[in-house]
Structure 1
Amino acid sequence: MSQRPGFPVKLAKTGASGPSGKVPSALPVRSVQTPTALAPRVASSVSGLGLDSGAVRARMVRKLAEQGVKDTRVLDAMGVVERHRFVESALVNQAYEDTSLPIGLGQTISKPNVVARMVELLCQDAPGKLGRILEIGTGCGYQAAVLSHVATEVYSIERLRGLHEKARTNLRPFRLHNVHLIFGDGMLGYPKGAPYAGIISAAGGDAVPDTWLDQLAVGGRLIAPTITPAGHQALVVILKTAQGFERQVLEAVHFVPLKSGVA
């Protein structure tokens, strides 16, 4: 199999405007510790939350491995990103349980197992870090943070302004220089960043939009929930080759519906 496409440099800011005509937000740079550096110590207790985030994250990662997640890049990323910082304070004690949680505006943060599963599928057959990734549906920003550890560049688009702003607030303390948040219609993708080494969607429609397929690089993978002919939503993996598209339908899933427009 040919090597997956990579895009090691960021887009020039000139001309890389989002749907509103503004340059997409790039979160400022900080020094990020590697999972190896984090492993020997346990994070201090979260003030007022009554839980040790480092310990419970480690338990979550062990459970993910037991459930079949094998890619160490994904497990390391799941172990680094603090999921409790992306959920409402009233639900923080459930942050590391394998459950989806409401994040407002009728949307949810996906189960850790679902996030890990989809990111692992995106990374499949890639020898190292992925190149530029497009995420459809930023939500609260959690999956974008996970993707930032396995890809050189993450462009994440959200159609609900309230969630776009929430993700900006949630991600700002992490100072992830390779994450760019865009407010716009995810069904249109983000052509200014194309072609993408991978596209991942947190919402499912009747079919994968042609715009996404057009923006996917040859050798790239697209992971999205899609309605099957039987009327059920299932996880679909599409590999773009020089000859066309290879499509694989996997397990049943339940995601929010894919919608067009902004709100």
Structure 2
Amino acid sequence: MKDSFKHQGKRKQLVDVIKAKGITDPAVLNAIGKIPRHLFMDSSFLDHAYADKAFPIAADQTISQPYTVARQSELLQVKPGDKILEIGTGSGYQTAVLMEMGATVFTIERQNELFKKTQLFLPKLGYRPKRLIFGDGYKGLPEFAPFNGVIVTAGAPFVPKPLMAQLAIGGRLVIPVGEKVQIMTVYTRESETKFVKKEYGEFRFVPLLEDKN
């Protein structure tokens, strides 16, 4: 679990890269600059860990491109103390970014291999989500709703209704919607019945898997 000066220097370079791509939220930049991304990958390949690209992890999933993580985090507009629901824990890197931003994180993973691994790994780095649950992200976590924000870290063919329903008034759902290519979409809940939708360009994600059991 080594985090050397070299790693820290590479992270600083990564922060400069995502800044140049338009990320301005200081809380996001601080989180990316602080979290040892190389530890979230199976191999501590320096060249890959701090390059702005996605990388394979267990269970045919990926650790998202740092710019994508930063963009979703920025669109979520996290304030310290916000209750955030994350759909797709994956490696736990996005979870760590949200926690560095001061969020109280509830996170769901449906790949058992990843769930077990991340459940053990995150606390070793000092990140303890409020809940890390093995389950179906399409259903959300109604028992802990409402949430100030919901973030979906996989491509969704459609927007799951339960996730909309679990947003607090003023809350935001950040979700990549589409089959092969996804459009980053933000829904802001303005009232019980009114949602405002905005789109923020194309991204590519592994698909959000619905529980078939």
Is 1:160 aligned to 2:111, yes or no?
A: yes
Find the aligned partners of 1:120 and 1:234 in 2 and give their Cα distance.
16
Partner-residue secondary structure (3-state), 1:148: helix
Partner-residue secondary structure (3-state), 1:93: helix
Conservation of the 8 A alpha-carbon contact between 2:3 and 2:36: no
Deviation, 1:252, is 0.7
| 1:252 equivalent in structure 2 | 202
| 1:103 equivalent in structure 2 | 57
| 2:158 equivalent in structure 1 | 207
| 1:240 equivalent in structure 2 | 189
Find the aligned partners of 1:90 and 1:108 in 2 and give their Cα distance.
15
* Residues 159/45 of structure 1: CA separation in 2 closer, same or farther (3 Å cut): closer
Is 1:86 aligned to 2:36, yes or no?
A: no
Conservation of the 8 A alpha-carbon contact between 1:160 and 1:262: no
- Deviation by residue 1:135-180 (Cα, 9 ceiling, x = unmatched): 0000011100000012331011000110001212321212224443
Deviation, 1:232, is 4.3
Conservation of the 8 A alpha-carbon contact between 2:7 and 2:46: no
Is 1:146 aligned to 2:100, yes or no?
A: no
Between Structure 1 and Structure 2, how many residues are aligned? 211
Q: Which has the higher mean CA deviation after the structures are superposed, 87-96 or 108-117?
A: 87-96
Find the aligned partners of 1:53 and 1:146 in 2 and give their Cα distance.
17
TM-score scaled by structure 1?
0.75
- Deviation by residue 1:72-99 (Cα, 9 ceiling, x = unmatched): 0110011111100101116443100001
Find the aligned partners of 1:140 and 1:211 in 2 and give their Cα distance.
24
Identify the structure with bigger relative contact order (alpha carbons < 8 Å, sequence gap 6+).
1
Bigger radius of gyration:
1
Find the aligned partners of 1:88 and 1:138 in 2 and give their Cα distance.
16
Find the aligned partners of 2:128 and 2:14 in 1 and give their Cα distance.
26
Find the aligned partners of 1:115 and 1:80 in 2 and give their Cα distance.
14
Conservation of the 8 A alpha-carbon contact between 2:107 and 2:129: no
The residue type paired with residue 186 of structure 2 is: V
Find the aligned partners of 1:181 and 1:189 in 2 and give their Cα distance.
12
Find the aligned partners of 1:174 and 1:142 in 2 and give their Cα distance.
11
Find the aligned partners of 1:85 and 1:262 in 2 and give their Cα distance.
32
Q: 1:40-59 alignment to 2 at 5 Å?
A: 46=4, 52-59=6-13
Cα root mean square deviation, aligned:
2.0
- Deviation by residue 1:193-235 (Cα, 9 ceiling, x = unmatched): 110000000112221100000101110001011028xx74211
Find the aligned partners of 2:39 and 2:3 in 1 and give their Cα distance.
13
TM-score scaled by structure 2?
0.92
| 2:86 equivalent in structure 1 | 135
Q: 1:221-232 alignment to 2 at 5 Å?
A: 221-227=172-178, 232=181
Find the aligned partners of 2:58 and 2:46 in 1 and give their Cα distance.
15
* Higher-helix-fraction structure: 2
- Select which of 26, 41, 46 maps to 1:72: 26
Deviation, 1:121, is 0.4
* Residues 205/178 of structure 1: CA separation in 2 closer, same or farther (3 Å cut): closer
Identity of paired residues, percent? 37
Find the aligned partners of 1:109 and 1:260 in 2 and give their Cα distance.
19
Find the aligned partners of 1:214 and 1:132 in 2 and give their Cα distance.
15
Conservation of the 8 A alpha-carbon contact between 2:122 and 2:128: no
